[in-house]
Amino acid sequence: MSIRPALLLIDIQHDFLEGGALAVPFGNEVIPIANTMMERFDTIVATQDWHPPAHGSFASAHQRLPYEVIDLHGLPQVLWPDHCVQGSFGAQFATALHSTQIDHITQKGTDPTVDSYSGFADNGGRIETDLHQTLQAKNINTLYICGLATDYCVKFTVLDALTRGYTVFLIVDGCRGVNQQFNDSQEAIFEMERAGVQLIASVDVPNYKAT
């Protein structure tokens, strides 16, 4: 079977960068790597966290403190600071990201009753986004993934991609994690490896760009 690859960028948005509402430590470091990777692919897809105001994952919606864990409609939910609210500056892609090269954007987290770490479906696996359908329409079977954050949206997108039959490469140096616990990102990488992801450094990603 021939390789039909795409680059999948995860949530490289202002609120996850330095100074953002839910800043990922060193998150800005993924931007130049993502830009370089975009020069090597003909198909580039990105996910975008896109929450309505008062989303159920926001601590403010429950008058609780950020990072508490509650039951949200039958699912454990970390309560986050308000972030990536639809139409806000924080929800926009990083200014330095070459976002005009993105072919398709999948918005997630739009249902106020459930969070969506994965780009493919909500956390309960109840409602699919358009990502799988879009990739299938483009005959994509191999994904190279980077972005934010390793231990949440990257991890769950990778795991869902594997269960849907994609060959998945994680561009390790193109990801950064939240790391509420100091080793969360490393544990996430171990989990992804056990599920079948292949780890790769950005310098080793082939150039799939058609000439």
Catalytic residue among 108, 146, 151, 175: 108
Q: Distance (Å, rounded) from C-alpha 110 to C-alpha 20? A: 20
Which of 84, 153, 155, 175 is an active site residue?
153
Q: How many CB atoms are closer than 10 A to CB 188?
A: 24
Query: Is 11 labeled as catalytic in the residue annotation?
Result: yes
Contact predicate 79/51, CB 8 Å? no
Is 175 designated active site? no
DSSP lists the bridge partners of residue 32 as: none
Lookup: tokens for 154: 């990257």
* Nearest alpha-carbon partner for 133 in 144, 120, 124, 122: 120
Query: What residues act catalytically?
Result: 11, 108, 153
